Structure 1
Amino acid sequence: MALTQETAQHALVAACEQVGLDPAGAELIRIGSNAVYRLKTPVIVRITRDGESIENARKQVAVARWLEAQDYPATRALNVDQPVEVDCHVATFWESVSEREEYSPIEGVAELIRRLHELPEPSLDLPMKEPFSELDSRVLNLAEIDQGDAEFLRHRIADLRAQYETLEFPLRPGVIHGDANVGNVIVDREGRPVLIDLDSFCIGPREWDLVQTALFYERFGWHTEDEYRTFVKVYGFDVMEWPGYRVLADYREISMTLWLCGKAGEDARAAAEVRKRVEAIRTGGTRRDWAPF
């Protein structure tokens, strides 16, 4: 069942009923990889798309409980019996840290990533980072776009897979957020940074948690040079000085584009954005006009 505003609302009502929460007046914050609602009580409800596993939702809740035990500033899982399955969707419930979504300054992002990487290894059974398994799971999205573009992306993925296998990572591997960037660090009611969206939490090379900030600065222009230098100073390592940076950055571009391909069949704006992105990757053109989705 596709995740639309109608199906998400149905799942919200049913899931809230199971855990004894009132969905009346819930605010839909966004629909992307998840539908995210804010209830009138200070609770965030996340509804997954069709096909997302309940095992991943259980992992997110377990990770949140572990981070809370470490007194680490991350999203807190609500103390209810969760996750909840509704039809083909999975709902999870989180304490709301603020009534508005305000992103942290870059020094807060760097500090939280550094602190995460300094935590002791958890006893959780976390998956290993498998970046190309993640891409393989989205390859069906290529059916939604021009087949010439689809074939180009398939070849690009194959090239990156071969290059990735030769990389030597300078940082010690361990716990990573897996999707660390400014969009996943918000400030709470007191203005303190909080890490959110634990979907991709796993064990892997720490460089994965640094590459998006570098990419957003270097290719997209979403961070200034001063912001990036602050990020490097606070974290203590510049991933752009590592020869493998380009491979991870190229991978992230493909991953972002492949995810968007899944929306191209039903959204003309997304389809146009995919065409623009593929052309930029093919020709080495600018990424500064890539629109966020």
Structure 2
Amino acid sequence: MSLADRILDDACAQVEIPSAGAELLRDGENQIYRLPGKIVVRINKPGQQKVAAREVFLGRWLNDNGVRAVELLAVTQPVVAFDHPVTFWHELPPHRPGTPQQVAQALRQLHALPVPDQLARDKVAPFVRLHERATGAQWLPDDDRGWLLGQLADLKTRWAERPAGLPEAVIHGDAWAGNVVDVDGQGVTLMDLERCSVGPPEWDLTSTACRLTSFGTLSAATYAEYCDAYGFDVTQWAGFELFRDIRELRVTCFAAYVAQSRSNLRDDAQLRVDSLRGRNGPRPWRWKPIE
């Protein structure tokens, strides 16, 4: 029996839910299982109790304040099994990625909420895990790995000096269409609350803007609709290039880290590094998704 299976069995026993018939849905930074009865179990990294507790709070607070989000199972949680915090959620009905306009509308509603006292100290952490991911990509040439670490240091300095923008708000932190979904018969729902925190709304808005400026997967007309729906165009803000650069570094370091154990992804990860280093021409770059 794997450690993940033992964690699942222990956590389910604590909340008196059978773990038999569990199906692994995702094995990435976190493990996600589906249980019979349309229950989803999320196993966080060890020592992430505070993060899991914040997700539990947000799952309740958002729904109580008119912003639809994934719903918690009615059990006392999070629980801790083998130092891994574990949370339990109702599985969403059939759903599809939200349109850019739906993402903008959901973010506008989220950013308008008053910051609750329970979240006031939970500030956005745009550089979390980047150093570990860059140093962990040992397959990369030393020069490329060193460049990623140098870029990380430079962006940290620029972040500390970032220009003023919209008032700080509760932000999703990872607001792409796969985490802002259109649920059949229920409307738009926020998923994956792990990165929710307090910070500049521009951090959320940059995710969709990068689809236009960095990756070319969004048309100018659709992006204009996105801006109209939110009421702000982040690409016209003085800090956009900084936020864009951080987003690009995040997806690149993730790809490089994953490729350490999955050699079939190394060409795609190297393409990302080459693009950031100016070896692949100007933006937008055509990158394949890393899954």
TM-score, normalization by structure 2: 0.90
Q: Which residue of the other structure, out of 134, 153, 159, is the alignment partner of 2:154? A: 159
Structure 1 residue 188 displacement after superposition: 2.2
Q: CA deviation at 1:133?
A: 5.0
SS state of the match for residue 45, structure 1? strand
| C-alpha separation in 1, matches of 2:100 and 2:166 | 21
| Aligned-residue offset at 1:16 | 1.7
Structure 2 counterpart of 1:104: 98
Unmatched tracts of structure 2, length 5 or more: none
CA-to-aligned-CA distance 1:160-191 (integer Å, 9 cap, x gap): 22322332132111211111111111222315
- DSSP-derived class of the 2:127 partner: helix
Residues 246-255 or 123-132, more deviating: 123-132
Deviations along 1:102-132, one digit per CA (max 9) or x if unpaired, are 2122222111100000112212144112323
1:95 matches 2:94: no
Task: State whether structure 2 residue 80 is matched by structure 1 residue 85.
Answer: yes
**How is 1:93-172 mapped onto 2 (pairs within 5 angstroms)?**
93-98=88-93, 100-125=94-119, 126-136=121-131, 138-172=133-167
Question: Which amino acid in 2 is paired with 1:257?
Answer: T
Say if 2:216 is the partner of 1:221. yes
AA matched with 2:108 = R
**Among residues 41, 61, 67, which one is paired with 2:56 in the alignment?**
61
Which residue in 1 is equivalent to 2:67?
72
Correspondence for 2:27:
31
- Separation in structure 2 between the aligned mates of residue 44 and residue 272 of structure 1, nearest angstrom: 34
The separation in 1 between residues aligned to 2:95 and 2:80, in whole angstroms, is: 26
1:256 aligns with 2:244: no
1:290: which partner in 2? 288
Aligned residues: 287
- 1:76 deviates by 1.5
Give the AA of the match of 2:288: W
Equivalent residues of 1:277, 1:290 under 8 A apart: no
Partner of 1:265: helix, strand, or coil? helix
* Cα offset, 1:144, TM superposition: 5.0
Tell me whether 165-174 or 104-113 shows the greater mean CA deviation: 165-174
Do the aligned partners of 1:145 and 1:264 also contact (CA within 8 Å) in 2?
no
Q: 1:147 to 1:117 in 2, by over 3 A?
A: same
SS for the counterpart of 1:278 is helix
Check the 8 A contact 1:160/1:251 in 2, yes or no: yes
What SS does the corresponding residue of 2:24 show, helix, strand or coil?
strand
Kept in 1, the 8 Å contact 2:114–2:169? The answer is no
Alignment counterpart, residue 168 of structure 2, candidates 153, 161, 173: 173
Map Cα deviations across residues 120-157 of structure 1 (whole Å, 9 max, x no partner).
22121441123235534545424453212101111111
1:246 aligns with 2:244: no
Which AA in structure 2 matches 1:119? L
SS in 2 for 1:271: helix
CA contact (8 A) 1:169 1:205 kept: no
Q: Which amino acid aligns with 1:91?
A: V
Matched, 1:12 2:17: no
Contact 2:256 2:270 in 1 (8 A): no
**Local SS of the residue matching 1:85:** strand
1:287 CA displacement: 2.3
Structure 1 residue 23: deviation in Å? 2.7
Cα shift at 1:248: 0.7
Give the Cα separation in 2 of the matches to 1:265 and 1:88. Answer: 25
**Structure 2 CA distance for partners of 1:61 and 1:144, relative to 1, 3 Å:** farther
| Structure 1: gaps (5+ residues) | none
**Alpha-carbon distance change, 21 to 90 in structure 1, aligned in 2, over 3 angstroms:** same
- Secondary structure of the equivalent of 2:161? coil
Distance 1:85 1:138 in 2: 25
